[in-house]
Amino acid sequence: MKYDILVVAIGSENNTFNTPGVEEHAHFLKELLDARRIRSAISDAFESAMIPSQTPEEIKRLLHFVVVGGGPTGVEFAAEVELQTYKNNNNNNLNFSSSLQILFEKIYNIIFHV
């Protein structure tokens, strides 16, 4: 297919799929700055979870990630969080098995759960 201009439009507004709590607590992923904020928040969570005085309950809270949106961005993001968890387990000889990801599609079906 020939074309003069390719336009990739991801939309101008985030869709929360009317999931309670998403608007107040979520990190939305639209721009590079958003990705950097998310990376920083996840990195901070892993670093905090590695503090020896953390209780198992606090570690579980820190490493609880919920991904809302079962499109390409949500699926790829969930896979990257899982990869980061795996790397942290292996590199630090720690058990982050309490990390949890739930991936929702817009009709609220759970399609991925670790």
Q: What pLDDT is recorded for position 103?
A: 60
- Cα atoms in the 13 Å half-sphere on the side-chain side of 37: 9
The pLDDT tens digits along the chain (114 residues) read 677 876 666 667 777 777 788 889 888 888 889 889 998 998 898 889 889 899 988 988 888 888 877 777 777 888 888 887 777 766 665 566 656 556 665 555 545 454
DSSP 3-state assignment of 67? strand
Q: What pLDDT is recorded for position 53?
A: 93
CA torsion, points 69, 71, 73, 77, in degrees to nearest 10?
Answer: 60
Instruction: Specify whether the CB–CB gap between 95 and 76 falls below 8 A.
Output: no
> Where along the chain do its domains lie?
30-113
Tell me whether residue 71 is exposed, middle or buried, using C-beta atoms within 10 angstroms of its C-beta: 0 to 12, 13 to 18, 19 or more.
exposed
Q: What pLDDT is recorded for position 6?
A: 66
- Note the pTM of the prediction, 2 decimals: 0.69
Q: What pLDDT is recorded for position 81?
A: 82
